[in-house]
Structure 1
Amino acid sequence: MTATSLTRPASTGGGRGRRPGRSGARSMGGVGRAKRREAIALVVPSLLPVLLLSVAPLLVGVLLAFTDARLVRRPEYEVVGLENFQRLLDNGFFWDSFRIGMVWAVSVTVLQLLAGMGLALLLNADLRLQGLTRVLALIPWAMPPVVVAIMWRMIYSPNAGPLNAALGGLGLPDDINWLADFSTALPAVVVVGVWVGMPQTTVTLLAGLQQIPGELNEAASVDGANAWRRFTAVTLPSLRPIVTSITSLNFIWNFNSFSLVYVLTEGGPGGKTMLPMLFTYLEAFKNRNIGYAAAMGVVLVVVVVLLLSAYLWSQFRAEKER
Structure 2
Amino acid sequence: MSTELREPPLMRADNRLPGTPTKTKKRRAYSATGSSKEMWLLLLPALIPVVVLSVYPLVQGILLGFTDAAAGYNRPVNFNGIDNYTELLGNDLFWQSFRVGLIWAFSVTILQFLASMGLALLLNMNLRFRGVARVLALVPWAIPPVIIAIIWRLMLNPTAGPVNSTLAALGLPSDINWLGDPTFALPAAIVVGIWAGMPQTTVTLLAGLQNVPSDLHEAAALDGAGAFRRFRSVTIPSLLPIIFAITTLDFVWNFNQFALVYVLTAGGPGGQTMLPMLFAYNEAFKYGNFGYASAMGNVMVLIIAALLVFYLRRQAKERQS
Q: Flag whether TM exceeds 0.5 (same fold).
A: yes
Structure 1 residue 37: Cα displacement? 1.9
Name the structure 1 match of 2:203. Answer: 203
2:160 pairs with 1:160: yes
Distance in 2, Cα, partners of 1:297 & 1:169: 46
- Mean alpha-carbon deviation: is it higher for 20-29 or for 77-86? 20-29
Structure 1 residue 94: Cα displacement? 0.3
Name the structure 1 match of 2:17. Answer: 18
Alignment RMSD (CA, Å): 2.4
Report the residue type matching 1:16 in the other structure. Answer: N
Tell me if structure 1 keeps the 8 A contact 2:9–2:17.
no
Distance in 2, Cα, partners of 1:261 & 1:175: 22
Report the residue type matching 1:216 in the other structure. Answer: L
Report the residue type matching 1:203 in the other structure. Answer: V
Tell me if structure 2 keeps the 8 A contact 1:244–1:312.
no
* Secondary structure in structure 1 of the residue aligned to 2:17: helix
For 1:212-291, list aligned pairs within 5 A: 212-291=212-291
Distance in 1, Cα, partners of 2:231 & 2:101: 32
Distance in 1, Cα, partners of 2:259 & 2:319: 39
2:92 pairs with 1:96: no
2:182 pairs with 1:175: no
Report the residue type matching 2:25 in the other structure. Answer: A
* Secondary structure in structure 2 of the residue aligned to 1:274: coil
Give the structure with the larger helix fraction.
1
Structure 1 residue 205: Cα displacement? 0.7
Distance in 1, Cα, partners of 2:27 & 2:312: 46
Distance in 2, Cα, partners of 1:315 & 1:180: 42
Q: TM-score, normalised by structure 2?
A: 0.92
Name the structure 2 match of 1:60. Answer: 60
Structure 1 residue 75: Cα displacement? 4.2
Distance in 2, Cα, partners of 1:239 & 1:75: 55
Name the structure 1 match of 2:305. Answer: 305
What is the number of residues matched between the two proteins? 316
Residue-by-residue CA offset, 1:140-169 (whole Å, 9 max, x unaligned): 111111111111011111101111111111
Distance in 2, Cα, partners of 1:251 & 1:115: 15
* Secondary structure in structure 2 of the residue aligned to 1:17: coil
Residues 13/218 of structure 1: CA separation in 2 closer, same or farther (3 Å cut): closer
Tell me if structure 1 keeps the 8 A contact 2:208–2:239.
yes
Distance in 1, Cα, partners of 2:262 & 2:254: 13
Tell me if structure 2 keeps the 8 A contact 1:120–1:206.
yes
Tell me if structure 2 keeps the 8 A contact 1:124–1:206.
yes
Structure 1 residue 305: Cα displacement? 2.4
Distance in 2, Cα, partners of 1:210 & 1:13: 63
* Secondary structure in structure 1 of the residue aligned to 2:225: coil
Residue-by-residue CA offset, 1:8-66 (whole Å, 9 max, x unaligned): 9x579569323874323212211211221232223332222222211111110000000
Tell me if structure 1 keeps the 8 A contact 2:165–2:174.
yes
2:109 pairs with 1:109: yes
Distance in 2, Cα, partners of 1:41 & 1:265: 47
For 1:141-152, list aligned pairs within 5 A: 141-152=141-152
2:217 pairs with 1:186: no
Report the residue type matching 2:50 in the other structure. Answer: V
Report the residue type matching 1:269 in the other structure. Answer: P
2:71 pairs with 1:78: no
Name the structure 2 match of 1:3. Answer: none
Structure 1 residue 314: Cα displacement? 6.1
- Mean alpha-carbon deviation: is it higher for 97-106 or for 228-237? 228-237
Task: Indicate the percent of aligned positions where both proteins have the same amino acid.
Answer: 54
Tell me if structure 1 keeps the 8 A contact 2:245–2:311.
no
Residues 209/70 of structure 1: CA separation in 2 closer, same or farther (3 Å cut): same
* Secondary structure in structure 2 of the residue aligned to 1:133: helix
* Secondary structure in structure 1 of the residue aligned to 2:35: helix
Structure 1 residue 219: Cα displacement? 1.1
Tell me if structure 2 keeps the 8 A contact 1:140–1:196.
yes
Distance in 2, Cα, partners of 1:98 & 1:164: 31
Q: TM-score, normalised by structure 1?
A: 0.92
Distance in 2, Cα, partners of 1:183 & 1:313: 39
